Amino acid sequence: MKLSFLKSLLLFLILNYILLNSIPSICQTEMPETVPDPTKKYDELFNKPPETQESTPEPVQEDELVSFLPKLDNELYKNWSVVESPRIITTTDDDVLKEAGFEKVLKQSYKKENHIVDIYIYKFKDFAGAYSAFTVLHRGAATKLEVGRNASENDSLVDFWKGNYFVNIQTLAENDKDAKEFIVLSSQDISKNITDDKMPPVIVIQMPSLNRVQGTEKYCLGIVCCQKYLASNLTEIDFNSLHLNESGGIITAQYQFPENKDERITLLLLRYIEKQTAAQTFNYFKESFEKKKADNYDTEEGILKIKNEKSDYTYIKQRGNLLGIAFAITNKKSGEQLLNFIPWPIEITKPKD
């Protein structure tokens, strides 16, 4: 009798253990993506068996990325614990991240019962690369969370950048309030722990803020990023002709004016090291439109204005080392206003004798 009872108890414990350990995989569902998720390719590296892994990430004891991670005090992070030790990878096959100056990425996972959260901290050689990564890789919408320099969030993640770092904190589960609470708390802690703060690149600061649609900014440092994240929406542009290696990068964003809510103007802005390069790029566009013999083409008030086949307009303006191009203009007044918002360099010309 006693032996039969022990067998039944053992069977119950085994079944209970299997059920409990299967819950996380049942609850986790793949999150719909609006942009590529860079964490997936790193998960493949992190999760490869050591014998087949080209570069096995080792547990990290001392690294500045580890020091940014939240400290799990019992009051704020009750019942949360780490899953293994943090790991770091220092190589990437992603050409966009290489172009942005990728140095390494850390992954640390946390769990509470069947709730799981993954933290990824990317380090770049400078703040321009970190900001670029945020603009092209973030998957949330604009947020009121005061973390990093810029941040976005949705129900299952928070993304932000600060200093030379781009941070992604996410859960794969849907509608997981416990996980989202951890995500918000940890994002605040990590943001505080990253003391190296920087302003965005100069060209970003020169981008007009009035009437800008928040979250539409895309900042690229080179042709690879442009081709992957900008080319599909800016088919009129040959990015090879922009001399990006002689600029501080290229930024685009969308604008919407209150009086014309059906219009979304896309502005592209470049800041060159030399004024001559900006003028050369402007002349390239001017000559290319002249060759096309575009309808209603003129250079009124120093702005190259082109009427497109879709009955909208493209405006191009260059002054000093700045070049601005506005696309999909349906209201001429809005296009002119937008270009006027740009803080163009003041050019002083000597009076003729």
Looking at the chain, the domain(s) classified CATH 3.40.1000 span 26-193, 202-341
- The Cα–Cα gap between 255 and 208 comes to 9
What pLDDT shows up at residue 40?
Answer: 66
Taking Cα atoms as reference points, which of 336, 339, 333, 345 lies closest to residue 207?
339
- The Cα–Cα gap between 169 and 138 comes to 11
pTM of the predicted model, to two decimals? 0.81
What pLDDT shows up at residue 9?
Answer: 46
What pLDDT shows up at residue 309?
Answer: 74
The CATH class of 202-341 is alpha beta
- The Cα–Cα gap between 297 and 112 comes to 63
Beta-strand ranges (E) seen in 258-330 are 260-272, 303-307, 313-319, 322-329
Rounded to an integer, what is the distance from CA 317 to the centroid of its chain? 27
Amino acid, single-letter form, for residue 285? F
Q: What is the pLDDT along the chain (353 residues), one digit of tens a residue?
A: 444 544 554 444 444 444 333 333 323 233 334 566 766 656 665 665 444 445 555 555 578 999 999 999 878 899 999 998 999 999 999 999 999 999 999 999 999 999 999 999 999 999 999 999 999 999 988 888 999 999 999 999 999 999 999 999 999 999 999 999 999 999 999 999 999 889 999 999 999 999 999 889 999 999 999 999 999 888 888 899 999 999 999 999 999 999 888 899 999 999 999 999 999 999 888 887 777 655 556 666 678 888 887 778 899 999 999 999 999 999 889 999 999 999 999 866 555 55
256-289 confidence digits (pLDDT tens): 999 888 899 999 999 999 999 999 999 888 887 7
Phi/psi at 121 (5° precision): -120, 115
What pLDDT shows up at residue 43?
Answer: 65
Q: Do 169 and 186 form a contact (C-beta atoms < 8 A)?
A: yes
What pLDDT shows up at residue 306?
Answer: 85
- The Cα–Cα gap between 135 and 120 comes to 16
HSE, CB side, 13 Å, CA atoms: give it for residue 71. 4
| Cα diameter, the chain | 117
- The Cα–Cα gap between 284 and 272 comes to 15
Helices (H), the chain: 2-27, 39-47, 64-68, 95-100, 127-137, 177-193, 202-205, 223-229, 275-292, 332-341
Q: Which CATH architecture has domain 26-193?
A: 3-Layer(aba) Sandwich (3.40)
Q: Do 81 and 106 form a contact (C-beta atoms < 8 A)?
A: no
Taking Cα atoms as reference points, which of 291, 314, 294 lies closest to residue 235?
314
In 3-state terms, what secondary structure has residue 233?
A: coil
- The Cα–Cα gap between 181 and 138 comes to 19
Residues with Cβ < 8 Å from 204, sequence gap 6 or more? Answer: 131, 217, 219, 251
65-107 confidence digits (pLDDT tens): 999 999 998 788 999 999 989 999 999 999 999 999 999 999 9
Which long-range CB contacts under 8 A does 280-283 form with residues at least 24 apart?
280/243, 281/241, 281/242, 281/243, 281/318, 281/323, 282/316, 282/318, 282/323
Residue 243's CB is within 10 A of a number of other CB atoms, namely 17
What pLDDT shows up at residue 51?
Answer: 45
Residues with Cβ < 8 Å from 42, sequence gap 6 or more? Answer: 89, 105, 107, 120
